[in-house]
Amino acid sequence: MSAQTPQCQLLARQDADYRGWLWVAPPRDGWLESGEGNVWSADLGVCEAWRNAGRQAYDALAAPPPQVPGAVLFWPKSHALGEWWLSALNTALPVGTPIQVVGENQGGIKRVPKILADFQQACRKLDTARRCTLFATRTDKAVRGTEAAWQTFTAGGFTLATHPGVFGHGKLDAGTQLLMNALTQSPLPAPGRRSLRALDVGCGDGVLSAWLAKQGCQVTAVDLSTFAVEATRRTLDANQLTGTVVQSDVYRQIAGTFEAIVSNPPFHQERSIDYGPTQRLIREAPTHLVEGGSLTLVANVFLPYPDWLQETFGGFEILADDRRFRVYRAIKARH
């Protein structure tokens, strides 16, 4: 199978023997998934694809095998997240293990030599093509621990845990703030229950989950990212609130029904627009709602969500609009 992504196309032309190597934070690419070695990723979709291909996958907060011939790190758009991965590799693998770092030029890969110098690691350029660059280094003694990347900040009356790569890292997103304001002014409908079962899809740092729990909801929070799942757990703990947090691709790992679904859904995958998760969030929502249950979400005004809401629910209302974001609510009809 031919490589599909630019980074993998660059790797495919190398004469290196990658058998048994560890692929770290890679994109979805059939060339990788049909090859050899193991993957270490925070993305549940990536891990599931590798497991479905009969390959070993490790999530982001679990250490990979200590002995591998080498590792390839796919540099993320967040440099702070890339630095976390470097710290994790230096911590998990023996000193001197070969590491290659690959990424798109527009994604900041050219800053990697300076970052490696800060880690006291030598670096050399191996190749450049497909508007990507490949560097080589070796693991060294960890100069910083992985826990140092976790931070807390205060917003919306909550102490929030945050980690590089988690949505809204270190600040309260303006769309989320508009959504919480709208929920305050237009409370969630309560079809027959005093304590609503609420599902927060794409929970990020957990601010919506904390807000819902503080209102007395029985909260379940889901996110595709291991980092987001851990951030939400830490946020709930920091505010002495309770909830169930699950790593899930939208509804895939969720059972049961809810009185309310709330979301600030993502529409970017790295630098590409991806409407797929939000389309599933909307179109599959009625299956996961009780009769009279509601879906409330916030989105940029230019996104095509009204059409999907109309087609799925037969109608919706706009709770708030600040010309940049809109908050929509749709109700599952009673029969």
Q: What average pLDDT does the segment 277-283 reach?
A: 94
Last residue of a domain, one of 147, 180, 202: 147
For 56-76, the pLDDT digits (tens) are: 999 888 888 888 999 999 999
142 and 196 part of one domain: no
Q: Quick check: is 1 in a domain? A: no
Three-class SS state of 18:
coil
Show which of 147, 168, 196 is a domain's final residue: 147
> Is 162 in the same domain as 294?
yes
Task: Give the span between the Cα atoms of 138 and 71, in whole angstroms.
Answer: 9
Alpha helix positions (H), the chain: 6-12, 30-33, 44-52, 79-92, 112-118, 174-185, 207-214, 226-238, 276-283, 305-313
Whether residue 86 is found in the same domain as residue 129: yes
Supply the CATH number for residue 159's domain. 3.40.50.150
Is residue 177 one of the residues assigned to a domain? yes
Domain end residue (candidates: 87, 116, 147): 147
pLDDT digits (tens, 9 = 90+) for 189-234: 987 666 899 999 999 999 999 999 999 999 999 999 999 999 999 9
Same domain, yes or no: 143 and 154: no
- CA–CA dist 237, 36 (Å, integer): 40
What CA–CA distance (Å, rounded) separates 8 from 133? 11
Model pLDDT for residues 225-270, shown as the tens digit of each residue: 999 999 999 999 999 999 999 999 999 999 999 999 999 997 645 4
Q: Do 107 and 163 have their domain in common?
A: no
Q: How many CB atoms lie within 10 A of CB 115?
A: 17
Same domain, yes or no, for 109 and 159? no
Both 106 and 166 in a single domain?
A: no
Q: Classify residue 78: in a domain, yes or no.
A: yes
Domain co-membership, 209 together with 273: yes
Task: Tell me which residue range forms the domain holding 267.
Answer: 150-331
